[in-house]
Amino acid sequence: MAAQKAPFLKNMFEHAGLLIPDGIGVVLGVRKVYGVWSQRVAGADLMQQICHVAAEKSYKIYIYGSKEEVNKKAVEILKSRYTGIQIVGRSHGYLGEDEMGNLVKAINDSGADILFVALGSPRQEQWIDTHIENLNVKICQGIGGTLDTITGEMKRAPALFQRLGLEWFYRLVAEPRRARRQAALPVFMLKILLNGRPCQKPVFHKTL
């Protein structure tokens, strides 16, 4: 829904190396429009799967975004959770535009293979779209509020809600301020049900 109003976002999604169905609405939309079975892959889960693989393969990680205390604590938790993980750099997300050049240089100088950007959507997508050409990383994932879930600042829905595709409802109850943002969900589903048409044939990947 946001991509319909932000051309850069639409362009980024169309050219991304990998798109994951992070929300139940997208999962149901793919099934309805393309007749293809898919299942939800939460970005927060994928991020930690990548950390697990990175620890085993000695891939280097840089984490950018969120508040300083959250960023720092999340890094400490990840280091204790994944033996051998190499988090070679980190930065909070409250940097000025005049500091972006130094940040990009720091990321490249760190030798990071993987960059996690936790600025929230669509700010993180805007940042990635702007700077990706100057980055040497092999993987760049926007992770939204994942660092907050790692540190416990924000609680994820219980497993039952996740299995039933109701994590969005749990978060809405827990964070009523999300109501305005989530108002787009029923509009999206209505569009899919009434006139959903594939704009191009999708490429589907197995879950990592």
Mean pLDDT of all residues in 82-96: 97
| Residue 52 sits in the same domain as residue 148 | yes
| Residue 81 sits in the same domain as residue 166 | no
Percent of the chain with pLDDT over 90: 52
Backbone torsions φ then ψ of 142, nearest 5 degrees: -80, 125
CATH number for the domain spanning 88: value is 3.40.50.10700
pLDDT class of 197 with cuts at 50, 70, 90:
low
| Residue 69 sits in the same domain as residue 118 | yes
Q: Is 33 among the domain residues?
A: no
pLDDT at 187 over 60: yes
Question: Who has greater pLDDT, 177 or 117?
Answer: 117
Q: Is 34 among the domain residues?
A: no
| Residue 122 sits in the same domain as residue 184 | no
* Whole-number pLDDT of residue 204: 47
Q: What is the DSSP string of 10-30?
A: HHHHHH-S-----SHHHHHHH
Long-range contacts of 128-134 (CB under 8 A, 24+ apart): 128/12, 129/8, 129/9, 129/11, 129/12, 131/100, 131/104, 134/104, 134/108
Q: How far is CA 204 from CA 17, 28, 46, 177, 196, in A?
A: 11, 15, 16, 33, 18
Tell which residue, 188, 204, 196, 175, has the closest CA to residue 23. 188
Tell which residue, 129, 84, 87, has the closest CA to residue 107. 87
Mean pLDDT of all residues in 54-64: 98
| Residue 116 sits in the same domain as residue 163 | no
Mean pLDDT of all residues in 69-74: 98
- Type of residue at 121: S
| Residue 45 sits in the same domain as residue 79 | yes
| Residue 47 sits in the same domain as residue 142 | yes
pTM of the model: 0.83
How far is the C-alpha of 41 from the C-alpha of 129, rounded, in Å? 22
| Residue 119 sits in the same domain as residue 147 | yes
* Whole-number pLDDT of residue 13: 86
| Residue 53 sits in the same domain as residue 147 | yes
Total domains, the chain: 2
Range of the structural domain that residue 136 is part of: 40-154
* Whole-number pLDDT of residue 30: 85
| Residue 189 sits in the same domain as residue 106 | no
pLDDT at 208 over 50: no
* Whole-number pLDDT of residue 34: 82
Q: Is 160 among the domain residues?
A: yes
